[in-house]
Amino acid sequence: MKLQAVESSSSVGKRLVLKKTPRLVLLLTVLALIIFTLIPLYKPTITPLFIFKAFSLTSSSSSSSSSSSSSSSPSSPSSVSYVPESSDSECDIFSGEWVPNPGAPYYTNTSCWAIHDHQNCMKYGRPDTDFMKWKWKPDACELPVLNPSLFLELLRGKKLAFVGDSVGRNQMQSLICLLSRVTYPEDVSYTPDEKFKRWVYKDYNFTLATFWSPFLVRSKEADPNGPTLTGLFNLYLDEFDEDWTTQMGEFDYVIISAGHWFFRPSIFYEKGHIVGCHFCQVKNLTDLTKYYGYRKAFRTALRAIYSSESFKGVTYLRTFSPSHFEGGSWNEGGNCLRRKPFLSNETRLDGFNLELYMIQVEEFRAAEEKARERGLRFRLLDTTQATLLRPDGHPSRYGHWPHENVTLYNDCVHWCLPGPIDTWNDFLLHMLKMEGC
């Protein structure tokens, strides 16, 4: 069930090695394992740059008061009125249920150009639309649907960065689409590298940036002909990924996240030396498991932020996003076919989802204390539970045309847009309001 699939692939791989199974079998297993995860979900020949392709469609007009796809939205984009409600601060917004929301969605694939092709489920013929029509109801309060004018007004003159992998990018595209009811940003990227995009909402002097860092720490794809002939990642678990850490100083808000890349075979370095690995197939290296790498990577990434001389902003750790393969693993015909959310009493976080989540929470707590000593604010964007309850929101086979030869035919990792993770941005706005920014 679920991503345990990937887990069992790894153990199968290990067993194969122990039994000295013919190299080809091992290779196939490892190759399949590597091909999974976030970037090359589809054709392995596609470069990682492909994933940002949607952005190349950027309109250059800075403030086209673009069409609103929904007149039934609960809050008019043109009205801004925000009165802090003190009672809200008592409420755990992350504990609740999904309830029907006939007013959703607030954008479509025609009103918003920012939806990544592989998450544009309607384009590929997804027949049902109910998965768009839910909202999150915290047990003890209301969570308003994101009001784009309010969001832009609150962030006037500010800079917000997303740091992470393609699920982080998925959230950023959701945000661009939610805000598109008011306006679109202008592309002001400082590099042609699609992994590092920068947008400005000119009318609001609000900057949105994305930094590609799927492991959060310095990493390198080792020799593609490495021990398994499929390439391994070297993870320098105690070293900052300077592609993003050197730039945080100018940002007011940083949202970091990471997850599924840690399933990949990798070799762990600390203090410049190899300390072990995850599923690396190297005889004299200890398999420390992905949990080791995950914990150390978060520890280092959070330290990069709280130890920064220049960073004065608020840090959000967006917690692990569970996938929902059922009936087999991702490479054994597993799929996500449910058509409505779970109630909270119908499922629970377990297995590696729970393990990865707990690691994040523990590392967050430790770092938060250090940050507080330095007057910095760390916040947990604790989306895991709400996300766990949405097996219905993945692309499944509607992330590509049926005849396309894709590696992960059923994508139960990413999220259709519009869809459940629009709510991650509802959470974000709520938390930004709490900061009184």
Residues at the site binding ligand NAG, with contacts judged by CB under 6 A: 109-110, 120, 122-123, 157-159, 205, 274, 284-285, 343, 345-346, 405
Q: Which helix (H) or strand (E) holds 134?
A: strand 134-138
- In the complex, the smallest distance separating the C-beta of residue 380 from ligand NAG, rounded to whole angstroms, is 25
Rg (alpha carbons) of the chain, rounded to whole number: 21
Nearest to ligand NAG of 85, 404 (CB atom): 404
| Tokens coding 7 | 């887990």
Catalytic residue list = 166, 411, 414
Nearest to ligand NAG of 61, 110 (CB atom): 110
Nearest to ligand NAG of 269, 364 (CB atom): 269
Nearest to ligand NAG of 201, 352 (CB atom): 201
User: Residue 349 and residue 262: Cα distance in Å, rounded?
Assistant: 19
Residue 425: left (phi > 0), alpha (psi -120 to 50), or beta? alpha
| Tokens coding 165 | 């992998």
> Which of 97, 139, 138, 133 lies closest to 344 in space, CA to CA?
97
- In the complex, the smallest distance separating the C-beta of residue 76 from ligand NAG, rounded to whole angstroms, is 25
- In the complex, the smallest distance separating the C-beta of residue 365 from ligand NAG, rounded to whole angstroms, is 30
- In the complex, the smallest distance separating the C-beta of residue 354 from ligand NAG, rounded to whole angstroms, is 19
- In the complex, the smallest distance separating the C-beta of residue 169 from ligand NAG, rounded to whole angstroms, is 18
- Cα 43 to chain centroid, rounded: 20
Cβ contacts of residue 80 below 8 Å, gap of 6+? 147, 149, 150, 153
- In the complex, the smallest distance separating the C-beta of residue 356 from ligand NAG, rounded to whole angstroms, is 25
Percent helix / strand / coil, the chain, rounded to 5? 35, 15, 50
How long a stretch of residues is the chain? 437
Nearest to ligand NAG of 259, 419 (CB atom): 419
Q: Are strands 217-221 and 196-201 parallel, antiparallel or unpaired?
A: unpaired
Query: Which residue carries 């954008």 as its tokens?
Result: 107
Nearest to ligand NAG of 139, 362 (CB atom): 139
| Tokens coding 208 | 């949105």
| Tokens coding 350 | 């377990």
